[in-house]
C-alpha cells in the first residue's frame, strides 16, 4: 500500500516517508510476533538455547586464549622492561647471582630438537599410515592401528625413563662412538659421547610424535573417497601410482597431522628434560647437552625466588606461546598455498 | 538387602565424619623444602597419633616455601637456604613482623662418581673438586687426583661433571663450599641455588643427578647422602679444613654442625660448609623451618610452638633412619630459646 502512495503523489514526499517507515516498523513487529509464535508452536526453544550455549563456549575458548596471553604479558612486564631484546638474543643464563637472562639457547634447543624429531618421524609416520590404510591385510590392520594409538597414550615420563635406561646407554656405548668413527670431521658429531644431549632428545621426541602423525595420517588417508582409488585402478594404475594419487588428495590433512606432531614436540617437557642434559649452550654438535624452553620452565619455576627471575620465566612461556602461534600460522598459510596449487 | 547395605554405608560415612571432626581441632599447613619432606612426613604422622594435631605439608621446593610463608598462605615454611636480606625485608613488609629461622635438621652431601674397578672412598680435596667443576681438571688420571689417591689405579678417562638443573638448596651448599675453597670459583661462578655452571650436564632433582652418575661411566656428581646410599653409589672422602680425610656420615655431619654452633649467629643461620674440627665433613648444611615472629591465631601459634619443640628434641631420633644427621645438643638448646621468641 505504501508503495502505491509513493508512486501516486510525489508532492507529499514527507508524508510518504512517514508512511513507509510506519509500514516497515509494522512489518518488523509482525515478523517478530510471528517468530515468537513460531518458536512457541514448534517448541524449538531448546534449539535456540543450545545454539546460544555452544556459542558461549566457543567464545569462552577464545577469551581464555586472550586472557592467557594477557596474564603472561602482564606478569612478565618486569622482565620485558628490564631485559628488553637481550632476552631473545642473549646467550648467558645466570638467573640468581648476576640475574642475566638470555633465552636464545633455549629457543634454539626447542626449535632444533623439534625439527630433528619431525625429520625422523614424518617419513616414518606417513609410511605407517600408508601401510595401514592402503596396503595392510585386514587381520593385521586392526592390531597395528591399536598399537599405534596405544603408543600415543603412554605418559611422557615413561618415555623419559625409557630414555634414561635404554636409549641413552645405547647411544653412549654404540651409536655415538660409531658415528664419531665414521665421520671424524663432521661438526655434528663432536665432543665426548655422553649419550645425554640433543640427539637423545630428538630421538625420544620422534618416537613420541610418531604415533600422533601416524594415526591422524591414517584417518586422513581413509577419508579419501574410495571412488578415487577405484577409478585409478580401472585405468590400469599400479598400486604405487594409486597410493601417490591418494597421498596427493590428502596433502592438506597430512600437513595438519605433521603440525599436530610438531605442536607436541615443541611443548614436550618431562621426557626431554630427562635426557637433553639441561645446559644452556648453542652447539652444532648433536652430542652436546642442550636446553629447551619447556625444560627451563620445568626445572626452574619452583625455585624462582626474585620477581625478575619469575618474570623472565613467564616471559619464556610467552615466547613459547608466540612461537607456537607463528608456526601454526605458517602451517595454515602452507595449507592454503597447497590447496590453491591443487585447484 | 540393598537397604541394609545402604544403612551400613551411611553409618560408616557418619562415623568417618565424626572421627574427622574430633581430629580437626588444630590444623597446620606448611610448604617448602623437598629435602625435608621424608622426615617431615614421618614426624607429622607420629605427632598426629600422639596429639591429634594435623599438619599438612606441600613439598614444593625451598623457594616456593619462602614465597608462600611471605604471602601468609601457609603457617610455616621450610627452606634449605636462609632468607636473603632482600627476602627478609620483603617478609617484614608483607607480614609486619620479623622472620624466625629455626634449624630443624642437618643434611650431608655425597660426592658420588662412577668409576668401575676403583671402588668407594676415592679421596678428594676442595680445590681439586672446584677445578673439576671449573673444567680445569678433565681426566681421572690427572696428576692432582693421582697424588691424592696413591696406590689407586685411576683410569685415563674423561670426567663428566653432573650438577642440578633445577634450583635447589643442595646446589646452594655445594657451590658455597666451592666458593670457600676456590677463589677462582668465587669470582667466576659464585654460590646460590642456581648458578651458571662452567661445564657439565644438568639433572632434575637428586634423582636426576644420581641417575646421570649411575648410568654414565666417568661421571661425578653431588647428591644428598640418602640418594647415594639408596642407589648404591660409591662416594668420595673429603679432606676437611683441618686436613683430615673424612667420610660423609651422621657423625661427621653432626660434628660439622657442632663446630659451627660455637660461633652461632643470632639469627641461627650459619652456613656450615668447610667448618673447622678434625671430624667435620665439609659439605653439609642446616635446613630451616621459617615462621613469622608474631602469629595472630593463638591456637595455631601454640600448636606450632609445641610441635617445633618436639621436633628439635625428641623428633631428632628419627633422623638417622632416614639418612639425615641429628642436631647436636648445643643447637637444640639454641633452637628452644629461638622457638620461645614466637609471640613474645
Summarised one tens digit per residue, pLDDT across range B33-74 is 888 888 999 999 999 999 989 999 998 888 888 989 999 999
Classify residue B235 by its DSSP letter: B
CATH at residue A187: 1.10.3720.10
Cβ-contact B290, B101 below 8 angstroms? yes
Residue B151 has pLDDT above 80, yes or no: yes
Is residue A30 domain-shared with residue A94, that is, in the same domain?
A: no
The domain of A252 spans 90-342
Which residue from A minimizes the CA distance to B172?
A: A96
A104 domain-assigned: yes
Best probe of the B interface among A105, A302, A311, A312, by most B CBs < 10 A, is A302
By the 10 Å C-beta count (0-12 exposed, 13-18 middle, 19+ buried), B41 is classed as middle
Is A187 or A131 the better-scoring residue by pLDDT? Answer: A131
For residue B212, the chain A residues in CB contact (below 8 A) are: 196
Termini Cα distance of chain A: 51
Is residue A166 domain-shared with residue A37, that is, in the same domain?
A: no
pLDDT of residue B17: 46
ipTM above 0.90, yes or no: no
A211-252 per-position pLDDT tens digit: 999 999 998 998 888 888 899 999 998 989 999 989 988 888
- Cβ count within 10 A of residue A18: 12
pLDDT of residue A43: 62
Q: What total of structural domains would you count in chain A?
A: 2
Alpha-carbon gap: B108 to the closest alpha carbon of chain A (Å): 21
Cα four-point dihedral sign A132, A137, A140, A143: positive
**CA-to-CA distance for B233 and B118, rounded, in angstroms?**
12
**CA-to-CA distance for A40 and A132, rounded, in angstroms?**
52
CA A87-A90-A91 angle, to 5 degrees, is 130
**CA-to-CA distance for A12 and A220, rounded, in angstroms?**
67
Cβ-contact A45, A38 below 8 angstroms? no
Question: CA-CA distances (angstroms) from residue B96 to A3, B64, B75, B300?
Answer: 80, 20, 15, 18
Residue A11 has pLDDT above 50, yes or no: no
Is residue A36 domain-shared with residue A108, that is, in the same domain?
A: no
A254 domain-assigned: yes
Percent of chain A exceeding pLDDT 90 equals 38
A157 domain-assigned: yes
Which of A194, A196, A300 has its CB closest to that of B167?
A: A300
**CA-to-CA distance for B90 and B95, rounded, in angstroms?**
8
Check B208 against A274: CB less than 8 A apart: yes
Mean pLDDT of A18-26: 63
A319 domain-assigned: yes
Residue A341 has pLDDT above 60, yes or no: yes
Is residue A61 domain-shared with residue A189, that is, in the same domain?
A: no
Alpha-carbon Rg for chain A, nearest whole angstrom, is 29
DSSP B207-233: HHHHHHHHHSTTEEEEEEHHHHHHTT-
Cβ-contact B15, B288 below 8 angstroms? no
Q: Which residue, A295, A128, A123, A122, is CA-closest to A200?
A: A295
Residue A111 has pLDDT above 60, yes or no: yes
A226 domain-assigned: yes
| CB within 8 Å of B263: residues ≥ 6 apart | B270
A82 domain-assigned: no
Check A195 against B216: CB less than 8 A apart: yes
A23 domain-assigned: yes
**CA-to-CA distance for A188 and A119, rounded, in angstroms?**
15
Over the range A261-281, which residues count as b (16 or more CB within 10 Å of their CB) and which as e? bbbbbbbbbbbbbbbbbbbbb
| Residue that terminates a domain, selected from A44, A74, A104 | A74
A144-180 per-position pLDDT tens digit: 888 888 888 888 889 999 998 899 989 988 888 888 8
Is residue A70 domain-shared with residue A96, that is, in the same domain?
A: no
Is residue A292 domain-shared with residue A328, that is, in the same domain?
A: yes
| CB within 8 Å of B159: residues ≥ 6 apart | B132, B137, B138, B139, B140, B218, B219, B220
Mean pLDDT of A124-146: 89
Between A293-300 and A307-342, two packed helices, what is the crossing angle to 10 degrees? 150
Is residue A186 domain-shared with residue A320, that is, in the same domain?
A: yes
Is residue A149 domain-shared with residue A49, that is, in the same domain?
A: no
Which residue from B minimizes the CA distance to A171?
A: B216
Check B193 against A289: CB less than 8 A apart: no
Is residue A95 domain-shared with residue A205, that is, in the same domain?
A: yes
Is residue A24 domain-shared with residue A129, that is, in the same domain?
A: no
Is residue A68 domain-shared with residue A94, that is, in the same domain?
A: no
Cell of A307: 620477581
Backbone angles phi, psi at B191, to 5 degrees: -130, 140
Cβ-contact A321, A105 below 8 angstroms? no
Is residue A227 domain-shared with residue A141, that is, in the same domain?
A: yes
For residue B201, the chain A residues in CB contact (below 8 A) are: 194, 196, 277-279, 289
| Residue that terminates a domain, selected from A18, A42, A74 | A74
Alpha-carbon gap: A168 to the closest alpha carbon of chain B (Å): 8
| Residue that terminates a domain, selected from A17, A47, A74 | A74
Cβ-contact A104, A90 below 8 angstroms? yes
Cell of B132: 673439576
Residue A83 has pLDDT above 80, yes or no: yes
A237-295 per-position pLDDT tens digit: 898 999 998 998 888 888 888 988 998 899 888 899 999 999 998 988 888 899 999 99
Q: Which residue, A292, A308, A310, is CA-closest to A300?
A: A310
Residue B100 has pLDDT above 90, yes or no: yes
Least confident of A63-67, A75-79, A338-342, B139-143: A338-342
A275 domain-assigned: yes
Best probe of the A interface among B212, B214, B218, B221, by most A CBs < 10 A, is B212
Amino acid at each position: 500500500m505504501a508503495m502505491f502512495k509513493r508512486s501516486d503523489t510525489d508532492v507529499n514526499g514527507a508524508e510518504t516517508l512517514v508512511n513507509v517507515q510506519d509500514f516497515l516498523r509494522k512489518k518488523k513487529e509482525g515478523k517478530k510476533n510471528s517468530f515468537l509464535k513460531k518458536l512457541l508452536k514448534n517448541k524449538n526453544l531448546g534449539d535456540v538455547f543450545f545454539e546460544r550455549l555452544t556459542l558461549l563456549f566457543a567464545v569462552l575458548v577464545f577469551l581464555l586464549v586472550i586472557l592467557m596471553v594477557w596474564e603472561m604479558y602482564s606478569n612478565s612486564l618486569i622482565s620485558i622492561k628490564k631485559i628488553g631484546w637481550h632476552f631473545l638474543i642473549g646467550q648467558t643464563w645466570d638467573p640468581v647471582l648476576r640475574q642475566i637472562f638470555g633465552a636464545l639457547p633455549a629457543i634454539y634447543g626447542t626449535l632444533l630438537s623439534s625439527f630433528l624429531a619431525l625429520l625422523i618421524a614424518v617419513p616414518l609416520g606417513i609410511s605407517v599410515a600408508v601401510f595401514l590404510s592402503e596396503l595392510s591385510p585386514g587381520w593385521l590392520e586392526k592390531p597395528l592401528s591399536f598399537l599405534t594409538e596405544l603408543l600415543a597414550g603412554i605418559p611422557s615420563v615413561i618415555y623419559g625413563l625409557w630414555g634414561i635406561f635404554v636409549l641413552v646407554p645405547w647411544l653412549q656405548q654404540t651409536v655415538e662412538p660409531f658415528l664419531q668413527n665414521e665421520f671424524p670431521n663432521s661438526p655434528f658429531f663432536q665432543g665426548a659421547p655422553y649419550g645425554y644431549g640433543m640427539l637423545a632428545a630428538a630421538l625420544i621426541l620422534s618416537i613420541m610424535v610418531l604415533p600422533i602423525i601416524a594415526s591422524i595420517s591414517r584417518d586422513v588417508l581413509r577419508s579419501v573417497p574410495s571412488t578415487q582409488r577405484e577409478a585409478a585402478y580401472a585405468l590400469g594404475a599400479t598400486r604405487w601410482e594409486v597410493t601417490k594419487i591418494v597421498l596427493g588428495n590428502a596433502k592438506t590433512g597430512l600437513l595438519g597431522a605433521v603440525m599436530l606432531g610438531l605442536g607436541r614436540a615443541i611443548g614436550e617437557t618431562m621426557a626431554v628434560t630427562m635426557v637433553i642434559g639441561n645446559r644452556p649452550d648453542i652447539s652444532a654438535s648433536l652430542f652436546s647437552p642442550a636446553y629447551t624452553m619447556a625444560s627451563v620452565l620445568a626445572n626452574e619455576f619452583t625455585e624462582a625466588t626474585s620477581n625478575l627471575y619469575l618474570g623472565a620465566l613467564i616471559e619464556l612461556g610467552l615466547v613459547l606461546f608466540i612461537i607456537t602461534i607463528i608456526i601454526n600460522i605458517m602451517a595454515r598459510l602452507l595449507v592454503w598455498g597447497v590447496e590453491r596449487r591443487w585447484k | 538387602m540393598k537397604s541394609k547395605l545402604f544403612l551400613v554405608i551411611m553409618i560408616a560415612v557418619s562415623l568417618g565424619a565424626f572421627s574427622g571432626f574430633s581430629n580437626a581441632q588444630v590444623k597446620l599447613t606448611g610448604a617448602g623444602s623437598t629435602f625435608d619432606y621424608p622426615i617431615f612426613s614421618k614426624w607429622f604422622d607420629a605427632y598426629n597419633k600422639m596429639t591429634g594435631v594435623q599438619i599438612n605439608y606441600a613439598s614444593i621446593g625451598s623457594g616456593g616455601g619462602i614465597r608462600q610463608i611471605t604471602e601468609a598462605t601457609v603457617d610455616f615454611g621450610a627452606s634449605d637456604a636462609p632468607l636473603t636480606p632482600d627476602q627478609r625485608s620483603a617478609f617484614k613488609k608483607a607480614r609486619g613482623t620479623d622472620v624466625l629461622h629455626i634449624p630443624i635438621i642437618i643434611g650431608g652431601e655425597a660426592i658420588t662418581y662412577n668409576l668401575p674397578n676403583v671402588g668407594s672412598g676415592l679421596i678428594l680435596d676442595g680445590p681439586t673438586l672446584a677445578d673439576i667443576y671449573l673444567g680445569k681438571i678433565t681426566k681421572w688420571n690427572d696428576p692432582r687426583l693421582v697424588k691424592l689417591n696413591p696406590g689407586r689405579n685411576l683410569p685415563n678417562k674423561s670426567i663428566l661433571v653432573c650438577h642440578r638443573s633445577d634450583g635447589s638448596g643442595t646446589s646452594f651448599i655445594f657451590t658455597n663450599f666451592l666458593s670457600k675453597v676456590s677463589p677462582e670459583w668465587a669470582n667466576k661462578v659464585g654460590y646460590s641455588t642456581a648458578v651458571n655452571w662452567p661445564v657439565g650436564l644438568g639433572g632434575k632433582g637428586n634423582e636426576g643427578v644420581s641417575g646421570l652418575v649411575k648410568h654414565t661411566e666417568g661421571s661425578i656428581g653431588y647428591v644428598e647422602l640418602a640418594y647415594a646410599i639408596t642407589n648404591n653409589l660409591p662416594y668420595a672422602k673429603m679432606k676437611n679444613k683441618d686436613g683430615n680425610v673424612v667420610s660423609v656420615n651422621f657423625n661427621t655431619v653432626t660434628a660439622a654442625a657442632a663446630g659451627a654452633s660455637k660461633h652461632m649467629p643470632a639469627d641461627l643461620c650459619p652456613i656450615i660448609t668447610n667448618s673447622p674440627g678434625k671430624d667435620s665433613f665439609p659439605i653439609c648444611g642446616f635446613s630451616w623451618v621459617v615462621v613469622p615472629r608474631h602469629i595472630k591465631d593463638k591456637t595455631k601459634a601454640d600448636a606450632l610452638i609445641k610441635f617445633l619443640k618436639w621436633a628439635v628434641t625428641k623428633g631428632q631420633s628419627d633422623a638417622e633412619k632416614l639418612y639425615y644427621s641429628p642436631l647436636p645438643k648445643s643447637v637444640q638448646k639454641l633452637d628452644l630459646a629461638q622457638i620461645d621468641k614466637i609471640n613474645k
